[in-house]
Amino acid sequence: MIIYVMKILSMIKIQIQSHISLTDCIMFLIKAWRTVAFGVYGYLNFTKAGFLEHSKNFKAEDMQARMDGKNCIVTGANSGIGFATAEDLASRGASVYLLCRSKERGETALSKIQTKTGNQNVYLEVCDLSSVSEIKSFAARFSSKDVPLHVLVNNAGIIENNRVVTSEGFELNFAVNVLGTYVLTETMLPLLEKAAPDARVITVSSGGMYSAPLTEDLQFSDKDFNGVMQYARNKRVQVALTERWAEIYKDKEIGFYAMHPGWSETPGVAKSLPGFSERLAGKLRTWEEGADTIIWLALQPKQKLVSGGFYFDRSEAPKHLPFAATAGSHAVIDSIIKNLCSLTGIAS
């Protein structure tokens, strides 16, 4: 906490010396406050210690349900939180489809899950979630099965610190975290409707979204590209999308939920945020602890949940931190959806 305070004081000194305008100074202070508030709030709640404290209020009966006969898709399921989610759902008897970019890593995960759970109704679907065309191809292939989809877990995510553009012309973080989530969810709607009223979409966001308002600059046009900030913006979009989907599709009896898994010790975190991973070594959550609320959301009777809500450690959580000036930004979500429709050729 002291580190964050020292950081903000140092930044304020620099800005004062630069003789910036009052408006710019206010904006700077708001941004600095978001960073500090997120850091302090996160350290107190998102670590393993936070999970252990919150788990004192968990109810064992909430996690006893089976899922025999239900079909689930989990993206990014070859490792980390996605793997833990897929394994747990399989252990409950669900038919689980692992949606992975790497065939090799996906096959390894598939074998491990089948062996440990004894459930042979676990399948690998290879798909690059940074590619709109590949997602559409997968959707067409999967839809031909004509089976109800009870649970879609949008787990796959990426933090690419350098600006990388996909073959389709999209900034890579945005392509995976936003476009991938949007296209897969929209194309799976007919199968989700088949599973109504029990169908639900669970999108794995991040507490990082607390540090960013919603912005229409989806692909981060600023010349000083910041992968961590882009990730935070992407995760804010996911929360706002979930909120809007719940409104748009309320008559389809599909539940839409976003959640934050806390700070977990995953391969993605170690690769993309090595400094963060090292500083919090031993304090990060396990894969299973990160996946806990995903499973909880998949199992609860829908009348106990709020469609469009944001969840953390088995409870509905705030979408905005106090005085962070992010709440009003959600007003641009319809404009963002219109843009996503245009970019993907999918009408919402």
Task: List the structure tokens of 63.
Answer: 């996690």
- How far apart CA 69 and CA 77 sit, in angstroms, is 20
Closest listed residue to residue 286, CA positions, set 309, 308, 263, 306? 263
Question: In the sheet that 200-204 helps form, which strands lie side by side, from edge to edge?
Answer: 122-126, 95-100, 71-75, 151-154, 200-204, 255-260, 310-312, 315-316
Helix (H, G, I), strand (E, B) or coil at 78: coil
Could you tell me the sign of the dihedral formed by the alpha carbons of 187, 188, 191, 194, in that order? negative
Closest listed residue to residue 84, CA positions, set 153, 22, 151, 148? 153
What are the Cα distances from residue 45, in Å, to 35, 49, 50, 70, 181? 15, 7, 4, 33, 26
- How far apart CA 70 and CA 199 sit, in angstroms, is 10
Helix (H, G, I), strand (E, B) or coil at 242: helix
DSSP 71: E
Q: Which of the residues 182, 210, 231, 257 is marked catalytic?
A: 231
Closest listed residue to residue 128, CA positions, set 149, 158, 151, 148? 158
Closest listed residue to residue 272, CA positions, set 219, 324, 234? 234
Q: Is 257 a catalytic residue?
A: no
Task: List the structure tokens of 192.
Answer: 């989700």
Task: List the structure tokens of 43.
Answer: 């350290």
What are the Cα distances from residue 100, in Å, to 113, 184, 322? 14, 13, 37
Q: Say how many residues make up the chain.
A: 348
Looking only at the bridges linking them, the beta strands covering 310-312 and 315-316 are: antiparallel
Looking only at the bridges linking them, the beta strands covering 200-204 and 151-154 are: parallel
Q: What are the catalytic residues?
A: 231
